[in-house]
Amino acid sequence: MSQPSDKALVPFVSVDHMMRLVHRTGLEEVLRGLADYIEADFRRWELFDKTPRVASHSAEGVIELMPTSDGEVYGFKYVNGHPKNMKEGLQTVTAFGLLADVGNGYPVLLSEMTLLTAMRTAATSAMVAKYLAPKGATTMAMIGNGAQSEFQSLAMKAICGIDTVRLWDIDPAATAKCAANLAGQGLRVVPCASAEQAIEGAQILTTCTADKQCATILSDNMVGPGVHINAIGGDCPGKTELAPGILTRAGVFVEYPPQSRIEGEIQQMPQDFPVTEIWEVIAGRKAGRVKPDQITLFDSVGFAIEDFSALRYVRDRIAGTDLFHPLDLLADPDDPRDLFGMVQRAAPER
């Protein structure tokens, strides 16, 4: 039979391709590139179709679809969140995503996004910290040393210039893993024995723990003036990490309020709790940090536009390389009304 036409073939970036992209480019360079694409899209935030993600909840976890569009390109991500997976040797979060041409609806990129989501989450955190963290921040406390911790650490180094991470996790083995992975990456790494110890001298506090429950990873008295809190782990209904008292003392910045009020730390607060949309800070419309002793809090839940930006980055990076595989995903008959004829002509010879 004849080969499918170019229109029928969708570039597919596998996990292996993505890892090769990282090694060829350098992880910190990828994180910087992702941050640039995300920042550029946050600047044109108003252009995007925005909708809270479409979530299918079950007892064990959640499966979500996160669509968005800038009017020319459409993107969506499939992502699951199953905290119990880790105990079974599976990823808590796996993901893949797609870009399509709004003009004709044809997909133009399919990509793994388990790795890409880890990188875009870290790139978003660091890009936002560039706007909100105190000037001259050198030290981050990394509370929760799971799959996201190394990416957060290196993104804060590459984009915000920190030189020290102080690690803590309820499981010492996670801290040991993170410390081993970060060895030789140009960061001073300080494993700590408690959350209190980890935040000593840190200007940036990143929380990223995985329990699907309301927890108090940071209590009110642990947070002193002038720090920036980067709260990653409170990202679905019933899952928070911060004591409410911290929220009332902080300037709180979010991605998309209708989603964040359901999924973020601010789900603990009244519906009219004041927040600033971070895109307005990036676009120069609203103030970020207003004084050195202010506590700033990025209550991050992850938004579809960040995935869109990350897929755009990948699409641009793989052009002209061998970092993708053309996937026979779309039927493309010579005559578009003749799908049946296409099938008939593909009959094996008898």
Report the run of H or E that residue 258 belongs to, with start and end.
helix 257-263
Number of residues counted as binding its own copies (CB under 8 A): 85
Instruction: Specify the residue, 154 or 223, whose C-beta has the smaller distance to its own copies.
Output: 154
Point out which span in 93-101, 284-292, 294-302, 316-324 binds its own copies (CB under 8 A).
Answer: 93-101
Task: Give the one residue of 25, 85, 138, 216 binding its own copies; rule: CB under 8 A.
Answer: 85
Q: Tell how many helices (H) and how many strands (E) occur in the chain.
A: 11, 17
149, 233 Cβ separation under 8 angstroms: no
Task: Report the C-alpha gap between 265 and 268 in whole angstroms.
Answer: 6
Task: Report the C-alpha gap between 30 and 118 in whole angstroms.
Answer: 12
Largest Cα separation within the chain, whole Å, is 80
Task: Give the one residue of 201, 238, 258, 341 binding its own copies; rule: CB under 8 A.
Answer: 341
Q: Which of residues 267-326 bind its own copies (CB under 8 A)?
A: none
Point out which span in 81-89, 271-279, 281-289, 311-319 binds its own copies (CB under 8 A).
Answer: 81-89
Q: Which of residues 152-211 bind its own copies (CB under 8 A)?
A: 174, 177, 180-181
Instruction: Specify the residue, 69 or 203, whose C-beta has the smaller distance to its own copies.
Output: 69
Point out which span in 90-98, 132-140, 283-291, 300-308 binds its own copies (CB under 8 A).
Answer: 90-98
State whether residue 250 is helix, strand or coil.
strand
Instruction: Specify the residue, 118 or 275, whose C-beta has the smaller distance to its own copies.
Output: 118
DSSP annotation of 126: H
Task: Give the one residue of 37, 42, 45, 74 binding its own copies; rule: CB under 8 A.
Answer: 74
Task: Report the C-alpha gap between 114 and 143 in whole angstroms.
Answer: 21
Based on its alpha-carbon atoms, the radius of gyration of the chain, rounded to whole angstroms, reads 21
DSSP state letters, 265-281: GGGGS-TT---EEHHHH
User: What angle do helix axes 114-132 and 149-160 make, rounded to 10 degrees?
Assistant: 40
Instruction: Specify the residue, 8 or 283, whose C-beta has the smaller distance to its own copies.
Output: 8
Q: How far is the CB of 182 from its own copies (least distance, A)?
A: 8
90, 60 Cβ separation under 8 angstroms: no
Q: Does 96 bind its own copies (CB under 8 A)?
A: yes
Q: Does 103 bind its own copies (CB under 8 A)?
A: yes
State whether residue 311 is helix, strand or coil.
helix
CA angle, 301 then 306 then 311, to 5°: 140
Q: Does 67 bind its own copies (CB under 8 A)?
A: yes
Task: Give the one residue of 20, 50, 130, 317 binding its own copies; rule: CB under 8 A.
Answer: 20
Point out which span in 104-112, 252-260, 261-269, 307-315 binds its own copies (CB under 8 A).
Answer: 104-112
Residue 47 phi/psi, 5-degree rounding, is -70, -25
Instruction: Specify the residue, 223 or 310, whose C-beta has the smaller distance to its own copies.
Output: 310
DSSP annotation of 8: G
Q: Does 107 bind its own copies (CB under 8 A)?
A: yes
Q: Which of residues 108-147 bind its own copies (CB under 8 A)?
A: 112, 114-115, 118, 145-147
Task: Give the one residue of 98, 142, 167, 179 binding its own copies; rule: CB under 8 A.
Answer: 98
Burial 51-77 (b: 16+ CB within 10 A, else e): ebbebeeeeebbebebbbbbeebbbbb
66 forms beta bridges with: 77
Task: Give the one residue of 6, 270, 274, 340 binding its own copies; rule: CB under 8 A.
Answer: 340
* Active-site choice (41, 70, 235, 307): 235
Q: Does 86 bind its own copies (CB under 8 A)?
A: yes
Examine the residue annotation and report whether 36 is marked as an active-site residue of this protein: no
Q: Does 80 bind its own copies (CB under 8 A)?
A: yes
Give me the active site residues, please.
Answer: 235
